[in-house]
Amino acid sequence: MTAPAQLWIVGHGPGLGAALAARFAREHWGVLALSRRAPVAALAVGTHTSLDVLAADASAQLARLIAQHGAPRVLVYDVGVFKRAPFAALGEDDFRACWEGMALGAFRVAQAVLPAMVQAGGGTLIFSGATASLRGGAEFAAFASAKFALRGLAQALARAYQPQGVHVVHAILDGVIGGSARAGQYSARLDPGAVADAYWQLAQQPSGAWTHELDLRGADEPF
């Protein structure tokens, strides 16, 4: 009996992570949720494993996960380190934390997973971006610079690995996602279930027409 295809969610949490797990599980996929801390409650679907992408042994942890579970068919990198502050008040530690979480962490995960995807015959790697991936606001120097770096990494990986059968996507999420940790601070206009549907559709695209970048926003989001 063939094992079910696997979705890995790096940076799993309430909001998009939970919606992705539910959407792919509905199609009988296996789901592996990865986050720095264990969830406060058991996942509705899938398996949870702690993974700190910034730990010294992160590469070894990822290698063990691949050995245990096999290569993911789809991996979503949804790690977000949010810092908003006037530039004069921005500390170097905050700047570094944004860059490490969203750029260095993505680099480590991609370097571990991409060879396994290629060996397995292909897959889809989706990076979650933000409004700040394209526009650096006055109080978003740390966050935007990190998201710019993530976008550049996604472009480089697409050009390197799409000819080898791996679909690399950068999804710009223009707005705060309902149910996420920041949903109470801003007007939540992005429906996590709808975003999860879009990610599912990306993962189903035939190689004759792959999307590399798309932007998603609620209809009432100004842009």
d(Cα 42, Cα 133) in Å, to the nearest integer? 33
Separation between Cα atoms, residue 164 and residue 124, nearest integer Å: 11
Task: Please indicate whether residue 3 or residue 116 has the higher confidence score (pLDDT).
Answer: 116
- Region 174-187: mean pLDDT is 67
Say whether pLDDT at 162 is over 50: yes
Partners of 223 in the β-ladder: none
Q: Which residues contact 35 (CB under 8 A, 6 or more apart)?
A: 11, 12, 13, 17, 48, 50, 51
Query: What average pLDDT does the segment 102-118 reach?
Result: 96
> Which range is least confidently modeled, 149-153, 156-160, 219-223?
219-223
pLDDT at residue 180 is higher than 80 = no
| Mean pLDDT, rounded, of the chain | 90
Q: What is the pLDDT of residue 52?
A: 92
For residue 184, pLDDT beyond 60:
no
- 194, pLDDT greater than 70: yes
- The domains located in the chain, with CATH, are 6-216 (3.40.50.720)
Note the pLDDT of residue 168: 98
| Residue 146 contacts residue 161 (beta carbons within 8 Å) | no
User: Residue 192: what pLDDT?
Assistant: 94
Q: Return the pLDDT at 1.
A: 42
pLDDT in tens, 31-90: 999 998 766 555 677 788 899 999 999 999 999 999 999 999 999 999 988 888 889 988
Predicted TM-score of the model (pTM): 0.92
CA–CA separation, 141 vs 159, rounded Å?
27
